[in-house]
Amino acid sequence: MKIAIAGGTGFVGEHLTKALIDRGDMVYILTRSPDKHTDTANIKYVGWLSNQFQPEKELSSIDGIINLAGDSLFGYWTKAKKDKIYQSRVNSTYAIGKLIEKLEKKPAVLINASAVGYFGTSETETFTEHSEAQGKDFLAEVTEAWEKTVLENSSPEIRTVIARFGVILGEEGALPLMAMPFKFFVGGKIGSGKQWISWVHIDDVVGLLLFALDRSDVDKVLHVTAPEPVQNKELSASLANVLGRPNWFPTPSFLLKTILGEMSTLIVEGQKVLPEKALNLGYQFHYVTIDKALNEIYD
């Protein structure tokens, strides 16, 4: 298959690209700076998001497009940072839609990233792809606009999947930040420890994206989360055990809110999200439990 990826040089994009190449696919990575990269036999860097580029001429026969583009959530959420988080997701998704319009041969499938932050935060509710609840905080606002842009720019002739990512565990992303206090022997639960973490191992992120790419019966919203979400206190205990560190020092929520500002929402609050569609369609998770996932990462 010939697959185009926006955001292909990021954490998820790099893992996904490797998996696609390993199975013999050709990958076209959309980038603002194609000259900074070197093409290989299985990877071609294609310029986009600038009038000087005409990516539609290089993507004339692709089978699918995967949009992972978006500015990192990490960093103090100033107004400028929040604008960048919002605009990078909405603008790249809009640009993907316009690119598809220009393609004479349309791809069979479009997979666009989103996030479980769509639901807002809750310690009591459980969310599946059928849940209609929607949050009111900044991340919920971002994901609503993100998904709305996908739907407004999608074509009925193209199978469209909105992949709502949970907290991705791997060598990059949120996990190193979570693990740092434990490595310095000051780790522990955060706040009450009751907030839900809808996590997913990077291998299952890739697996679910390939599943969505290949299976014609996967469409609309797909939750990219492990089937056994955990509360923060469970994650902390597992992380301490895997790292061989104590789990004695709870971090007060107010302290994180003072230090991190609004970004503390990512750590202090959460939501319990289940991958109902993936399970019903027969996807076999590599990592179902948090202990197995963390042991693999820190082995």
What gap in Å lies between CA 34 and CA 28, rounded to an integer?
11
Q: What is the pLDDT of residue 60?
A: 85
Give the percent of the chain with pLDDT over 70. 100
Q: Looking at residue 266, what is its pLDDT?
A: 83
Question: pLDDT-based confidence at 263, cuts 50/70/90?
Answer: confident
- The pLDDT > 90 percentage for the chain reads 82
* Most distant pair of Cα atoms in the chain: their distance: 60
Q: Residues 199-220: what's their mean pLDDT?
A: 97
Q: How confident is the model at residue 51 (pLDDT cuts 50, 70, 90)?
A: confident
pLDDT at 36: 94
Q: What is the mean pLDDT of residues 91-114?
A: 95
If one counts every other C-beta atom within 10 angstroms of the C-beta of residue 192, the result is 13
pLDDT at residue 298 above 90? yes
Q: What is the pLDDT of residues 222-232, one digit of tens each?
A: 999 999 999 99
Q: What is the pTM of this model?
A: 0.95
* DSSP SS3 for 224: strand
Phi, psi (rounded to 5 degrees) for 44: -125, 130
Structural domains of the chain, with CATH: 2-297 (3.40.50.720)
pLDDT over 90 (residue 247) = yes
Q: Find, among 176, 186, 173, the residue nearest to 255 by Cα.
A: 186
User: Residue 253: what are its φ and ψ, rounded to 5°?
Assistant: -60, -40
- Model confidence at 74, pLDDT cuts 50, 70, 90, reads confident
